[in-house]
């Protein structure tokens, strides 16, 4: 049996009281950004918030996650679907990967349809950078509706 991939999840602080239901459902179903683990065992070794803008917990949480065995850090979907989306995502990705030598994935659960429609109407994600960020969680309409 292969060893489990160990992941840490960092959520946006505005959702700090989130119980993680959509993230854990998506992990179980291997949907959204967790589809990359199809056929693999995955263990969540840590779950925390960014600490609030501008992400004070980003400086320290990945170190703790790495000590707990994290190999990949997922920045939760809430960071891209909330309005406004996190303006620090690119910095978080760069900092965590360079300082802690950890892979960073933007997204957890699929983007819910209601958020997809809002951001599409506002053209929030029209840039190539945002297209890259939302790529792992965009899915199709049927799955997006299931996460509304």
Q: Which pLDDT tens digits describe the chain residue by residue (148 residues)?
A: 579 999 999 999 999 999 999 999 999 999 999 999 999 999 999 999 999 999 999 999 999 999 999 999 999 999 999 999 999 999 999 999 999 999 999 999 999 999 999 999 999 999 999 999 999 999 999 999 999 9
Q: Is 80 exposed, middle or buried (0-12, 13-18, 19+ CB in 10 A)?
A: buried
Could you tell me the residue ranges of all domains in the chain? 5-146
Residues 76 and 13 sit within 8 Å (Cβ to Cβ): no
CATH architecture of 5-146: 3-Layer(aba) Sandwich (3.40)
Closest CA to 28 of 16, 15, 44, 11: 44
Please tell me the predicted confidence (pLDDT) of residue 1: 56
Please tell me the predicted confidence (pLDDT) of residue 2: 78
N- to C-terminal Cα distance for the chain? Answer: 35
Please tell me the predicted confidence (pLDDT) of residue 83: 93
């Amino acid at each position: 049996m292969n060893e489990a991939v160990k992941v840490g999840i960092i959520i946006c602080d505005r959702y700090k009281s989130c119980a993680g239901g959509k993230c854990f459902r998506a992990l179980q179903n291997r949907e959204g950004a967790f589809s990359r683990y199809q056929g693999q065992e995955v263990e969540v070794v840590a779950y925390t918030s960014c600490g609030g803008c501008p992400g004070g917990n980003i400086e320290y949480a990945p170190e703790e996650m790495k000590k707990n065995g994290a190999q990949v850090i997922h920045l939760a979907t809430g960071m891209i679907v909330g309005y406004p989306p996190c303006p620090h995502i690119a910095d978080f990705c760069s900092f965590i990967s360079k300082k802690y030598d950890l892979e960073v994935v933007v997204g957890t659960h699929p983007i819910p349809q209601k958020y997809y429609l809002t951001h599409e109407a506002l053209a929030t994600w029209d840039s190539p950078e945002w297209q890259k960020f939302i790529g792992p969680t965009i899915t199709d309409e049927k799955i997006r509706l299931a996460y509304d």
